[in-house]
Structure 1
């Protein structure tokens, strides 16, 4: 059944490259964040380093948790072929566009970075594989390109950076009473 070890194996790396969907879970003392991620947005740099291409969205809890030194778990699971779940435990470093390393890391994706929010470098300290026998078989149809189009449009009209800056640190769900009062 399950195994635990310190770094990705060749089999793990091949498995990650095949996945169309994965999840990032993070926490830094506030609510636990769990986000599904698609697109061709993950790269394995070596057995202990993953690189994630982050598109702008409604919140940025991943960024908040990385800046606070929080814990991260990336989860990959098979929807086709033999069952498997792969959990990658790591720390994250956020790389913003003004970081001198940004362009070098972005080159791993071969895309224009004008509509990207940031990159994350994940430093792996443990890996766990498990059976995944309860995960259903599912068929991949296609990507949803609406997020990319939206981000590209904001980049083209010059408003993307303002959007990113305005959504850099999301409100804590622990402050819902305060949030609800401002909405009233």
Structure 2
């Protein structure tokens, strides 16, 4: 995982735990959504656009159908060509999609309540980024439901293909993103950073 995103996730987790003012953690903590959703949004923000697409929609040429997109990967009927979207607009559009991703992951994975926050973040990010297909009787879900956390995490790097000029291709951005979710799931989620809670121990 790149040091920049590692730092962002740690800082956001600390803000959630200790009630630090400002930033995404405070905004969503006030909204009373899960810590996992808050952290997944921070992760997704980095990989989707790092704030570059707040403003007017663009055509996502790496997506199927090249959808009109704005904010951090938001598509659909609420995205209107030529409209300008503020940061608050983006939060309003993104939050329900992350909550739905969490709901779908929880419903598909029977061991959800046993996972720590970092495993949940990795799975929410997968669903938000790839859609519910990642949960449709996939090996990832079967391994998770069999109790094989490590095996489930190791499936994540397989999901790195997108559509370029109508053809399926490995996308470097997805390779990087899946490496991060695998690390969160397998290492932070088991015996790595903050493994026994949101913030219980910070290891060097």
TM-score, length-normalised on structure 2? 0.22
Q: Which is greater in Rg?
A: 1
Q: Which has a greater percent of helix? A: 2
Q: Return the structure number with greater relative CO, CA threshold 8 A, min gap 6.
A: 1
TM-score, length-normalised on structure 1? 0.24
